[in-house]
Amino acid sequence: MAQVSLTPPSRKHIITRFGGTHPLSKALVFIVIVLLSTVVRLANFPRFLPYNDHFDEPSMLLLARDWRGVEHIAYIPEWLAGYPPLYIWVNMEVQQLVETFFSRGWFVLGDYLYALRLLAAISGIVTTCLVMLLGWQIGKAVAAWFAGLFWGLSPVVVEHNNFAIPDPLLYFTCALTLNLVVFAWLNRQHLRRISAALLISLGTGLAAIYLKYSAVYVFIPWGMVLVVMLHQDFGIQSARRQKLVWVGLYTTIFLLAVGYLLFVYGAVNLNNNEAASIRGAGMLTVVTAMFDYQRLLHNLTFAIWPIGVGFFVGLVVLGVGATVLNRFIVKGQSVTSDWLIGALLLYTLGCLVITSAYFDLGARLPTDPRDITISFVRHVLPATIAFCVIGGAAVAHVTVLLQRLVSQHQSVQAFVPVVVGAVMTVLFGLEALPRTILNFNMYRLPDTRVITWQWADNNLPLDGNIALVRGEIQSTWNRYWGGYDGKKAFPWWFTDTLPSFATLQSSDLQQLGIAYVALTDNEYLEFTSNTDTQPLFQTLTPIKHIAASSTVYGPGVYIFRTFPPQRQVASVIFNDEIAFTGYDLDSTLYYPGDTVAFRPYWRAVGTPSANYSMFIHLYKVEEQMLITQYDGNPSQPDRLTQLWDDPDELIIGQQVSLTLPGDIQPGRYRFAVGLYNYATGERLKLANGDDHWSLLLTIQAP
């Protein structure tokens, strides 16, 4: 049995083995992490745009528009009064850049969100680099690799790192501040270096607070290094005076920044949900919540969830075990600084304690993609930054211990970091990779809410309001919150503001100005399985069902019309392709100069083979002389007949207005409706050989 040497190789010798001995090969290893981080963020940041599926993004954007003075926004400025200003300033600048570089007549929510999410994705890529750098400063190459791997490729981090909200920039400023603080500590023997690093990190820490007031925890490690600087003897006579000058500068900057927020900007007026909950609970309740062990445990679980709870706990156990063996058995030099690890742990504790004051993320980790999106894990992701580095440091300890145990076998020792790195990377990837692939495929799918609003924009006349249940499709036609970008402005009402559906008929909805009812599959099932609301749905006219499936994202959607065609037509089918099923016509009795308002309704028997036009001709009975006519699209202007691909869809034609001549003779007239191929002029035939359907109108003398 080979004897284990208790004289370890130097730390530098061990660390440089990771990724090979050539500097270029080591650099390529870390470039891989950065590239992968870039790919997953740039591939996923648009998500389901133009549909917006995150509630907080429009709030920030609308507040920025109000601050710019380009649009008066109701409710938001009062609700977000005193909100941390930095992200709103950034949002304002991004909006102006979008409007400057993209020439459009008008902009919609998705235009701005695309640019803001791209900024968030870029900040996430840079944050990955900073997390790697933090890992390098604390545990060199192995720690850097895994810190970057965890942050750069965790599906949870990637998702929440791509939203157009302050949090992605907060992660960036926290990571940058921690890097500068660690740099300051590593250079604690040099007064200028530590002082300058603390000055810059003070600025980045204040930026974090200007993004989110709760980020005061970022100053915990900063304050620890400041204490180190104040107690450090730098071996120069003027050190005491210089330290006082630096501290005076720090104090001045801090007081000016905080004073602006409190006395000029009005941060004390903050009235968002978190601030309101703290005010409503009272200080004693808030302090109790901060140190409630269950809340802390829940929030801790969410903070390590992006890495993998079981995986991270296993890493820490292995890392602690390796540290003990390194220190007390092998008697080797420590891979990391206990002081720096302690500073990171205090930073994470501060983040969790402060977050617990206003949030308990709960005992159950979400698994459904929708639940992950709306989860509040973003509030503890600043702590995840430190946990990524701590996890990386744990792997570094394990790696160094194994290298020291095989120190007599140089060829084996060189491969230890590679083997450990490969094994740990695979273990992390077993959970992260399937979720990443799932997200990538999911974000490529068209969203049913976008499909619904595009269909409605092309097919529904603006005859009245749309009734919606507050739920999955409540923002579908909301330009401000859902991102609706159609040409038609559909008004809507929520069903909880209307009388109970159990007491209504379709005619009652018409009187309330409701022309359409839109429901998800689940909502439809709930209403139609309830005996109290069944009668209403027996009087509604189904128009369209947009089905949920594996090829789309989002719920299935039913669209109903509150009134059927005024007159039904049976067995009128043109060329076995298009069925004429009914029409709206207020009267069959007119006077010279009157306007005949006619709207047809259609169904596609099969997908039409050509784009057909509709003609309406008015003849006197038993005569062929044309009195007046109309030619145009049989449905709404943007819905050509070759796009009629759903036999179950009721296609609503546009309302046609025919003005009768003022000198038209009283009598009976044929109102003829037909279809023809506008490219060839050929008319479509009915089963009886006729090329039109007709009804009789009566013209009376005035």
My answer on whether 640 and 551 are in the same domain is: no
The answer to whether residue 478 is domain-embedded is: yes
The answer to whether position 533 is within a domain reads: yes
What string of DSSP letters covers 369-406? HHHHHHSSGGGTHHHHHHHHHHHHHHHHHHHHHHHHHT
Please state, in angstroms and rounded to a whole number, the distance separating the CA atoms of residues 583 and 652.
9
Asked whether residue 367 carries a pLDDT value surpassing 90, the answer given is no
Domain end, chosen from 508, 528, 561, is at 561
Do 400 and 455 have their domain in common?
no
Looking at residue 654, its pLDDT comes to 92
Residue with tokens 């300051």: 184
481 and 338 in a common domain: no
Pseudo-torsion of CA 581, 586, 587, 593, nearest 10°?
A: -120
The string of DSSP codes covering 538-579 is HHSEEEEEE---TTSBS--EEEEESS--SEE--S-EETTTEE
Same domain membership, residue 148 and residue 35: yes
Residue type, 690: D
Residue 3 pLDDT exceeds 90? no
CB distance 14 to 400 below 8 Å: yes
Residue 6 lies in a domain: no
**pLDDT of 1:** 35
Q: What is the 3-state secondary structure (H, E, C) of 224-259?
A: HHHHHHHHCCCCCCCHHHHHHHHHHHHHHHHHHHHH
Share of the chain above pLDDT 90, in %: 72
Instruction: Please check whether residues 183 and 281 belong to one and the same domain.
Output: yes
Residue 140 scores a pLDDT above 90: no
User: Could you check whether the bond before residue 50 is cis, i.e. omega within 30 degrees of 0?
Assistant: yes
Least Cα distance to 652 among 492, 543, 563 occurs for: 543
Domain of 635, CATH number, reads: 2.60.40.2550
Both tokens of 444, joined, read: 């490529």
Check if the beta carbon of residue 664 is closer than 8 Å to that of residue 656: no
Task: Give residue-wise pLDDT tens across range 494-517.
Answer: 999 999 998 988 889 999 999 999
Residue 546 — left, alpha, or beta (φ > 0 → left; ψ -120 to 50 → alpha)? beta
State the Cα–Cα distance between residues 385 and 395, nearest whole angstrom: 16
Tell me how far apart the alpha carbons of residues 643 and 611 are, in angstroms, rounded to a whole number. Answer: 9
**pLDDT at residue 272 tops 90:** no
Over residues 393-445, the pLDDT tens digits come to 999 999 988 888 887 777 777 788 888 889 999 999 999 999 999 999 999 99
Of the residues 399, 420, 444, the one at which a domain ends: 444
Residue 30, pLDDT above cutoff 60: yes
Q: Angle at which helices 293-304 and 309-324 pack, to 10 degrees? A: 90
Please name the residues in contact with 173: beta carbons below 8 A apart, sequence gap of 6 or more: 204, 205, 207, 208, 211, 215, 218
Q: Yes or no: say if 163 and 81 are a contact pair by the CB < 8 Å rule.
A: no
H-helix segments, 379-520 = 381-405, 410-444, 448-459, 506-511
Q: Does residue 160 belong to any structural domain of this protein?
A: yes
Angle 3-9-15 from CA coordinates, rounded to 5°:
125
Select from 389, 386, 338, 335 the least CA-distant residue to 17.
Answer: 335
Does 514 share its domain with 596?
A: no
What is the C-alpha separation between 144 and 697, in angstroms, rounded? Answer: 84
194 in the same domain as 117? yes
587 and 548 together in one domain: no
Residue from 482, 555, 473, 564 nearest 518 by CA? 473
State the pLDDT at residue 75: 84
Q: What CA–CA distance (Å, rounded) separates 619 from 357? A: 79
d(CA 112, CA 165): 12
Q: Cβ neighbours of residue 238 under 8 Å, at least 6 residues apart?
A: none
pLDDT at 6: 34
Q: What is the pLDDT of residues 450-474, one digit of tens each?
A: 999 999 999 999 999 999 999 999 9
Mean pLDDT, the chain, as a whole number? 90
**10 dihedral zone (left: phi>0; alpha: psi -120 to 50; beta):** beta
Would the pLDDT of 370 be above 90? no
If asked whether residues 555 and 640 sit together in one domain, one would say no
Q: How many domains does the chain have?
A: 3
Residue for token digits 């069903």?
495
Tokens of 27: 């650099």
**Cβ within 8 Å of residue 572, ≥6 positions away:** 579, 580, 581, 686, 693
Task: Tell me, yes or no, whether 616 lies in a domain.
Answer: yes
Identify which of 389, 395, 391, 384 has the alpha carbon closest to the alpha carbon of residue 305: 384
* 470 in a structural domain: yes
Which of 422, 444, 466 terminates a domain? The answer is 444
Asked if 172 contacts 138 with a C-beta cutoff of 8 angstroms, the reply is no
- Is residue 4 a part of any domain in this protein? no
56 and 191 share one domain: yes
Instruction: Map residue 215 onto helix, strand or coil.
Output: helix
pLDDT of residue 8: 38
CB atoms within 10 A of CB 248: 10
Residue 139: Cβ within 10 Å count: 30
Domain range for 401:
11-444
Share of the chain above pLDDT 70, in %: 95
Residues 525 and 661 reside in one and the same domain: no
d(CA 193, CA 185): 9
Q: Looking at residues 203-210, what average pLDDT do you find?
A: 97
* Assigned domain for 2 exists: no
Same structural domain, 360 and 329: yes
Q: Determine the straight-line distance between the first and last CA of the chain, rounded to whole angstroms.
A: 119
